[in-house]
Chains A and B, each alone.
Chain A
Amino acid sequence: MDKKKTKNIVTIHPVTRLEGLAKITILLNNAGRVENAYYQVVELRGFERFLQGRPIEEVLRITPRICGVCPTPHHLAPAKAADQIYNVEPPKTGKMLREIMALAHVVHSHILHYYAFALPDLILGEKSKPGTHNILGIAHQFPEVAKKAIRARAYAQEAQAMTGAKATHPVTALPGGISKGITKEDAEKLWKWGKYIVEFGQLGLEVWEQEVRKNKKMMNLINSDAYKMDSYYMSVVDDDNALDFYHSNIVRVVDSNGKEKFKFEAKDYLDYIAEHVEPWTYLKFPFLKKIGWKGLVYGPDSGIYRVNSLARLNVVDNIKTPLANEAMQHMYEVFGGKPAHHTLGFNWARLIEILHCGERMVELAEDKDIYSNDYRIPVEKKNITGEGVGVIEAPRGTLYHHYKTDDEGKVIKANIIVATTNNNGPICISVKQAAEAMVHAGQYNEDDLNKIEMAFRAYDPCLACATHAMYGHMPMVVEIYDENKNKIRELKRLN
């Protein structure tokens, strides 16, 4: 790669359809040191207006279309809001089937991100040229792991299709429960798929242990200050402060020492979360209202918080499935305590969550109530409350869907905070941290740029939902500007 870099702006942004929608700009000073980093997004307009006047039941089928990457959480979070709007508590079976849908989606999403996008960076060595770090490299070097990943992902997809009626854009959740149940034979399939995912989850952690944890160079990178941030962390937790992807409406925030800072019901989220607006991006910056916005900085005085896999594990006291809980304890031993602030540790936490989801699927499949016919309680318009806030843990973090309706259940107002939006500030900070470590006196190579992108990728950012669009692809372009901000070089990085 070219080493001639005494310039003061580096821009990384996607090409093809996302072009113009999102980019990362790194500003260098005259000495070639990183001065600042910006992560900019342009979003489609008018989603609230688009939903206005539509019955809340219809909204559940529309919101999954916001995102081609994580449609299931955008089905389940509004479903929980719709339950509140109709003032109804779904029966146990309805909740169990919704949870299966959520767990299967986490597995499906985490496997793709980790094995296709994160693992190549972690085990394929330094990136010397574009196109060397991708799923093809993993399939070549670890063919058996790749095959099992595909199978586990396929099972997760089938579990989503079984409970959601459609594999990609589920349609079954309704206020009061779910529109279709499953049979005993279906439950047996879920059990087998869950077992396979457990085995695959364990394999993934073994591969991590052998190929990443025992790789001193990689662990030095993971443990380096360039990839650490002492931030607040947010997640949904159950009544015992344990990991919970679907059921609970309780949100917990811990500080950088792991001490509980806030705990609130999702319906009160606006008392705890505010959104800062910057003129250079359409994507807002959520922050902890009671701490305050102090700019793109972290620490106890900054209201910036993180969500997603590692944040979840940092927030919970335990995981109620044994294998995942044990794996979590091991991770914190290696990281030197809890919470861990390692941005690249989000990948390790994803593997632990895959294992947990498999274990939990098995537990649910073993409960005879999962194939009961009591999966929905009919709703009545006379019971409409006019407001609901649904919260769940999507693969990428805490997802809020908030609706106000009229007496007929038609939407008057909608507000959605998606996971990647929660992480907007941290992503900017992480990119800056990595860039500061990799770019010296304006000098960097292909591997340095990839390591900057690793900080970005660790969050598994889904611009598709953060931008309320479904254009889900992010090939990169690096633009280099001279001191007068004239572009003098463009490096396209399409795979």
Chain B
Amino acid sequence: MKTLIIGLGNPIVGDDAIGIKIVEWLQQTNLFSPNVKIQPDVSLSGIGLVELFQSYDQVIIIDSIITEKNRPGTVRVLHPDQFLSAHHVSDFHNMDFFTALEWGYQTFKNIPPKEKITIIGIEIQYVQEFSDTLSPEIRNQLKSIQKTVYNQIRKILNKREVLFNAL
């Protein structure tokens, strides 16, 4: 199964970069088979994001989220129906991710079905200033976040696509 793992966020907006940093780390671990394409630095939304899904059987997006229901650093697994509450998945004007995804299904023949699209969200707090570093709160939890995200991905992927079962 051809899988795309995306690190979504903005590298100059503090904790908003957590998805990018996690996926950069995943890329460096060499834990995945060649069937798994890793794209760590994606700052897209809406249609632009959906266009990347073409020709993959499944997509896993690692992104920061703000639900204000969990403490920063909490990892949550989300599905397309919950996408409106995620960070980067909607586009400007009135194009939410769900519409963009529907458009993708109508336009392209090779977008994975909704059940094969997963967002792994990492709770952060609102960022108010530009910064290219993580907050101490997120930075101090980085290793445990990495491990949790990796284990979630391992659950999603086929066994043959993960070269090692645990870190």
Contacts and interface: CB of A to CB of B under 8 A. Distances in A.
Interface of A: 15-17, 44-47, 49-50, 62, 65-66, 68-69, 71, 112-113, 116-117, 131, 134-136, 139, 146-147, 150, 168-169, 457, 462-464, 468-476, 493-495
Contacts of B107: 139, 146-147, 150
A112 B106 contact: no
B12 A65 contact: yes
A464 B92 contact: yes
A472 B12 contact: no
B43 A470 contact: yes
Contacts of B48: 68, 168
Interface in B1-42: 10-13, 42
Contact of A475 (B10, B11, B88, B94): B94
A463 B103 contact: no
A475 B129 contact: no
Contacts of A474: 92-94
B103 A117 contact: no
B91 interface: yes
Contacts of A464: 92
A20 to B, nearest CB: 8
Contacts of A473: 45-46, 90-93, 95-96
B164 interface: no
Nearest to A108: B48
B47 A116 contact: yes
Contacts of B90: 16-17, 473, 475
A374 to B, nearest CB: 31
Interface string B122-142: 000001111110000000000
Which 5 pairs across A and B sit closest by C-beta, in order of nearness? A473-B90, A50-B130, A46-B129, A472-B92, A495-B99
A50 B87 CA distance: 23
B73 to A, nearest CB: 19
B82 to A, nearest CB: 11
A68 B99 contact: no
Contacts of A46: 129-131
Given A50-B130, A136-B103, A475 B96 contact: yes
26 contacts: A15-B84, A16-B84, A17-B87, A44-B13, A45-B129, A65-B10, A65-B12, A66-B12, A131-B99, A134-B95, A135-B47, A135-B99, A136-B103, A139-B107, A169-B43, A463-B92, A468-B130, A469-B13, A470-B10, A471-B87, A472-B46, A473-B93, A474-B92, A474-B93, A475-B94, A494-B98
